[in-house]
Every structure is written in C-alpha cells, then in structure tokens.
Amino acid sequence: MSIDLLGLTPDAARDALQEWLTTRGEPAYRLRQLFPRLWQRPVARWSDATDLPAGLRGALDEAFPLRRLELRTHQVSSDGTEKFLWMLDDGEAIESVLIPEGKRRTLCISSQAGCALGCVFCATGRMGFRRNLSAGEIAGQVRELVIRDPSLKPTNIVFMGMGEPLLNWEAVDTTLTALNRPEGFGIGARHITLSTVGILPQLAKFAQRREQFRLAVSLHAPTPALRRALMPIEKKYALPELMSALQQFRRRVTLEYVLIAGKNDSLEAADQLAKLAQPLEALVNLLPLHPGGAPDLTPSARAQMLAFERRLKEKGVEAVLRRSRGLDISAACGQLRVEVVGSGRGRRKVRPEEHAHIE
C-alpha cells in the first residue's frame, strides 16, 4: 500500500522514509538525498531525481507516489496577477492566485473544493460544498509553482482561496507545519495568514499553535443583523461571541471588510466597525468588491471607499484600502472554477449550521 508523503508533516514523512530505507538496507545518506526532494527542492516524480539509482527511483514511485495537481487553466493579468485552476484526481477543481508586488510574491491558496458557508459576495459560496482538500492538495498548490519555476516560490501565503480553512482544520494544521518548517517550504510564520469567518472551536486550536501565524477574520459587517444578511455563519457563531474570542487571541488580528454599495459602506457602518476594531487594536483591510464574485452586488464608489477609510482613521483605527487585482482575468475567488468547470455537477447543499459542526 502506497503512502502519500506530501500529506504528512515533514517529521512524519522523514520517519516513513527512514523506516522504508532501513528495511531495504539502503545506506544512511540516502535519506539526505531523498528528503529535500519533497518540499525544499521538489521533483515532479521520483524518476526525475537523477542523483538516485534507477532501481531505487522505481521503488520510490511505487511505495511513495508523488501526487500532482494538474494545471487546467492559467491566466495572467496585466497587473502581474496569475491565476491557476488545478484539477484534482477525482475531477474536482480548485484555484490559487499568485500576486506579485515588488519582492513579495503572495500566493492565495484553497483549503476546500467549494464552500458551504454561502457568503453572498463570494463565487465559491455560490458553488456549494464539494469536499475537503487533503494536506497534500493544499500544500501542493505551493509545490506545483516551485516545480514549474523555482523563482515563483511564494514569499507569503494566505489561506484566502476557496473554502473555510477552519472547517478543514486537521489538513490545514498539517499544511501549516509543512509550509513553515525549514525542512518543508521554510516560509516564516509571520508570512503565513489564515483567513476565517470565525469557527470558534477550531479558532481556539489555531491560537494554541506556538508559531506566530497571522490571523485575518472575514467580518464584512459591524452588526449581527447585517452580518447575518451577508454571511449565514452568523446564525451559528454570533458576532459578539467572535469578538470576545478575538480578544483572547495573543496576536494582532486583521479584520477583512469587503465594501458593497448600499449594504455596508455607510459612515455609520464605519463608526460601528471602529468600535469593534479599537479594543483589538486590529488592522482593518478594506477590500473593493470584486465584480466577478457577485454579479448581483455593486462595488462601492471610489469616493465612498475613501470616505469610509478616512472615517476609520479619524477614530484611531489603522485601516488600509486595498486595490482589486486581476480585474481583467477571472480573479474573484471561485470565479474561474465556475466559468471553466461549471457549478452544478455534484453540488452538495449543506446548511451552514450543519457544516459548522464539523471539527
């Protein structure tokens, strides 16, 4: 029976390889040759590791096949943003987006195929929940880029692609380790951000990790009533409970807020948001609504977004108005997958209240 080393933590993968090599009677230095080919200097298949004997490569391909993501579509925006649509073994599809900015290369990765949470401004939410990704499939989005071109290796990772990371906590937990550890991809914890709507039991588990991973919370509304209209998860984990949990978090929190015309972009909403952000000393990321994510909603006018940002700053809140990237490609989360693969096949409808129980 074969083992997916890429779905394990580096320590577990090393142990599995060591045991296998010892059983075969291989010399001790083989592990030092093999192990870096998983994450540090990844190969597409063991047969590409030409520094190894051919017989050993063949045995490795049988015992530890390296699972791949198949690139279905690759789009490049005029602003340098690159979007990748990956096909999985079972025909599902996921997206990741590479955003270059100076020396920084931020990769936005997916943790689920689809999403059950149904946020009204998100194309992935309209798709419905398909399945959780394995740790190998999540980290594989990074690995495929490094195999494609080592210069594309991300400097920063954000779990802001398809899916809710904390509803796939076990796989995400393993992936965080593979991304961060020096014998994995070696990306600093402060350069890895997990974005969540606020699944409280798993949020507590994330907080228990010693590494200084960043936390971003998809807020998008400053009151429970408005948040419930935009994000059904509010029915399960209410805003007051979420804000209380965030006050126990040891690290600085970023609040994400997509500005939607006529919905959540009034100056009154800015004042209410400031009251939530002030006790946390949180950074507020103001995000223009990407029109591809929700065709029935309207992005806020530029002047209104600037006024909203200015109001927060007047209240002593650190706020940054981001600019939309990839407007000339299908860069809204889930948009490319819906356009290329479609949204109806095998769609699984799951009530947010039901899905939020998964741990």
- Are the C-beta atoms of residues 308 and 259 closer than 8 Å to each other? yes
Between vectors from CA 11 to CA 10 and to CA 16, what angle results, nearest 5°?
A: 95
Average pLDDT over residues 10-30: 96
Q: For the segment 126-149, what is each residue's pLDDT rounded down to a tens digit?
A: 788 899 999 999 999 999 999 999
pLDDT of residue 97: 95
pLDDT of residue 330: 52
- Are the C-beta atoms of residues 46 and 52 closer than 8 Å to each other? yes
Q: From the CB of residue 90, how many other CB atoms can be counted at a distance below 10 Å?
A: 9
pLDDT of residue 108: 96
Residue 357 has pLDDT above 80, yes or no: no
Amino acid found at 155 = T
Amino acid found at 326 = G
**Which of 24-38, 106-120, 335-349 bottoms out in mean pLDDT, i.e. has the lowest?**
335-349
**Which of 107-116, 204-213, 324-333 bottoms out in mean pLDDT, i.e. has the lowest?**
324-333
Average pLDDT over residues 211-223: 96
- H helix intervals, 149-238: 169-180, 200-208, 224-230
Task: Give me the catalytic one of 95, 144, 234, 309.
Answer: 95
Average pLDDT over residues 199-206: 95
Q: For the segment 236-294, what is each residue's pLDDT rounded down to a tens digit?
A: 999 999 999 998 888 889 999 999 999 999 999 999 999 999 999 999 999 999 876 67
Of all residues in the chain, what percent are helix, strand and coil, respectively (each to 5)? Answer: 40, 20, 40
Q: b vs e for 41-65, b when ≥16 Cβ sit within 10 Å of the residue's Cβ?
A: ebbeebeebeebeeebbebbeebbe
Q: CA 262, CA 270: separation in Å to the nearest integer?
A: 13
Residue 336 has pLDDT above 60, yes or no: no
pLDDT of residue 326: 57
The H-or-E segment that residue 216 falls in is strand 214-218
- Ranked by mean pLDDT, the top range of 109-123, 275-289, 326-340 is 275-289
pLDDT of residue 328: 56
Residue 347 has pLDDT above 60, yes or no: no
Active site residue 115: no
- Using left for φ > 0, alpha for ψ between -120 and 50, and beta otherwise, residue 346 falls in left
Between vectors from CA 109 to CA 107 and to CA 112, what angle results, nearest 5°?
A: 180
More confident residue, 335 or 278: 278
Residue 203 has pLDDT above 90, yes or no: yes
Report the chain's mean pLDDT, rounded to a whole number. Answer: 89
Tell me the C-alpha to C-alpha distance, in Å, between residue 98 and each of 27, 31, 138, 269, 302: 40, 32, 15, 32, 25
pLDDT band at 125, cuts 50/70/90?
confident
Domain architecture of the chain: domains with CATH = 5-63 (1.10.150), 70-355 (3.20.20.70)
**Which of 125-134, 145-154, 226-235, 331-340 bottoms out in mean pLDDT, i.e. has the lowest?**
331-340
- Are the C-beta atoms of residues 220 and 200 closer than 8 Å to each other? no
Active site residue 333: yes
- The residues near 319 (Cβ < 8 Å, ≥ 6 apart) are 283, 284, 285, 286, 309, 312, 313
Q: For the segment 65-101, what is each residue's pLDDT rounded down to a tens digit?
A: 999 999 999 999 888 899 999 999 999 999 999 999 9
Q: CA 151, CA 155: separation in Å to the nearest integer?
A: 10
Q: CA 176, CA 194: separation in Å to the nearest integer?
A: 9
Percent of the chain with pLDDT over 90: 79
Query: The tokens 């580096």 sit on which residue?
Result: 10
